[in-house]
Amino acid sequence: MEIVQTGSWGFGEGPLIIAGPCSAESEEQLMATATALKGTGRVSLFRAGLWKPRSRPSSFTGEGFRALDWLRRVKTETKLPVTVEVASPEHAVACLEAGIDAVWLGARTVSNPFSVDAIVSALQGCDIPVMVKNPLSPDLDLWVGAIERVYSAGIRKIAAIHRGFTPYDKSRYRNLPKWELAIELRSRIPSLPVICDPSHMSGKADLVPETAQKALDMNMAGLMVEVHNDPAHALSDKEQQLNPEQFEKMMMSLLFRSSTSGDIGFINHLEELRNRIDSIDHQLIGLLASRMRISEEMGEYKCRSGVTVFQLERWLEILQSRTVHGISEGLDSEFVGRVIRMIHEESIRCQDVVMKRLNLAGGCPPAGNDGEKE
C-alpha cells in the first residue's frame, strides 16, 4: 500500500499528538479544553466525540450534529485542526460538509464490515485522513480488512489506532494492549502509521502516561489522548481523562526517542548484539525442529501401541516443570507458559498428523496399551 505518512497530513511533523475530550458536551466545555490544549503547544489535532456508541441507552450518547458548529468555532478561534469519530454514512457526509479535518472509525464500527463499507462509500475519494481503530476482539484480519476497505476507496492518508482489546479476565488495563498484534499489523502493512490511544487502553488517568511512553518506545507514530477541562464532571469516561495540566505534565515527561542513531559506536555495538540474537534464534529453530521430529516419532509409537495422542498428567508435568525452570533462569512465568503451550500445541498437531496417516494406512491397532506419554 502507498500510504501518506502522518508528517505529510498538514498537521505538523514529528509524532502526531491528538488530544481532546471523550465527548463534546457543550460549546463552553469544548472551547475551554481546546484553548488550554492550544496553550500547551503540544497538540497536532483536537479530538471530540459527537456520536457516542454507548452500551446502555440511558448513557450520554453525545450532542450529535449540532456540535459540528462548536468544532467549527474551535478551528476558527484556536487554529487547531479537528477530528471526530464517524459511525454512519450520515456522520461522514456531515463532517465533510462541516470542514472537519480528519475522522476515525471506532472499535465497534470496525467490528462490523458492513458498517465500514457504508462509511467508506460516503468518504469515497475524499482527501482528509481516515484513522481506523482496532476492533473490540483481537482479530487482526478484521482490522486489516477495515484498513483495506478505506484504501480501496482511494483514500491514502490512513493510520491505524491501537486502543487495546476487550479483556476476557481481570486486568489492570481497561483494554488489553496486546502489543504483539500492533507489531504484526505493521509487519503486514509496513507503510501504515500506527497511533496509540493510551486513554482507552488504560481506562485510568494515572496509567495513561506510562502507557503512552510504552507506545512511543514501540516507535508508534503518535498518541490519541482524552483530555477534559473538568474530568470529574465529564459525562463519559471520566476515569480515563486527563485535565490540561496533567496532559502538559505528561507531554513534558515523555521521552521521544529516535528509531535509529547516526553514532558509529552505537551502530557497531547494536549490530554485534543483533548478530548474537540471530545466532541464538537459529539454534532455537533448529532445536524446535528436532523436537517436532521426535514428536512425530512419538506419534507413530503411540499409534502402533494403541495409545492416545494427549495425556493430561504428562502435559501438566511439562507445564509445571518448564515454568519452574524458566523462573530459575530469570524468565517471566507467563512468558514461559505461553511458549510451552505453543510448543506443546504444535507437538500434539504433529503427532495427530502421523496418527491420521497411519490410521488411513491401517497401521494402528485399537487403543489399549499405556505406551509413551507426551
258 in a structural domain: no
Query: Among the three residues 253, 281, 306, which one is the final residue of a domain in this structure?
Result: 253
1 in a structural domain: no
Quote the domain boundaries for residue 89. Answer: 6-253
* 3-state secondary structure (DSSP) of residue 92: helix
Query: Among the three residues 212, 229, 253, which one is the final residue of a domain in this structure?
Result: 253
Angle between the 67-78 and 89-98 helix axes, to the nearest 10 degrees? 30
75 and 189 fall within a common domain:
yes
366 in a structural domain: no
21 and 154 fall within a common domain:
yes
369 in a structural domain: no
CATH number of the domain within which 136 lies:
3.20.20.70
**Rounded distance, CA 46 to CA 210, Å?**
22
- The number of beta carbons lying within 10 Å of the beta carbon of residue 206 is 11
Distant-in-sequence, close-in-space partners of 138: CB < 8 Å, separation ≥ 6: 165, 176, 178, 181
Beta strand residue intervals within 33-101, DSSP E: 45-47, 82-85
Whether residue 243 contacts residue 227, with contact meaning beta carbons closer than 8 Å, is answered with yes
217 and 323 fall within a common domain:
no
245 and 342 fall within a common domain:
no
Domain count along the chain: 2
368 in a structural domain: no
215 and 278 fall within a common domain:
no
* 3-state secondary structure (DSSP) of residue 24: coil
Q: What is the DSSP string of 249-299?
A: HHHHH-----S----HHHHHHHHHHHHHHHHHHHHHHHHHHHHHHHHHHHH
- Residue 367 is predicted with a pLDDT of 52
239 and 166 fall within a common domain:
yes
- Residue 89 is predicted with a pLDDT of 97
247 and 293 fall within a common domain:
no
- Residue 123 is predicted with a pLDDT of 95
Whether residue 303 contacts residue 366, with contact meaning beta carbons closer than 8 Å, is answered with no
CATH number of the domain within which 291 lies:
1.20.59.10
247 and 268 fall within a common domain:
no
* Whole-structure pTM value: 0.79
**Rounded distance, CA 247 to CA 243, Å?**
6
247 and 144 fall within a common domain:
yes
220 and 89 fall within a common domain:
yes
172 and 319 fall within a common domain:
no
Smallest CA-to-CA distance from 130 within 281, 263, 6, 264 is with: 6
104 and 135 fall within a common domain:
yes
Query: Among the three residues 253, 288, 311, which one is the final residue of a domain in this structure?
Result: 253
- Residue 99 is predicted with a pLDDT of 95
The whole-number mean pLDDT for each consecutive block of 10 residues of the chain, a chain of 374 residues, reads 93 94 96 97 96 76 90 96 97 96 96 96 93 96 97 96 88 90 93 96 96 94 97 93 97 87 84 90 93 92 87 92 95 94 94 88 61 44
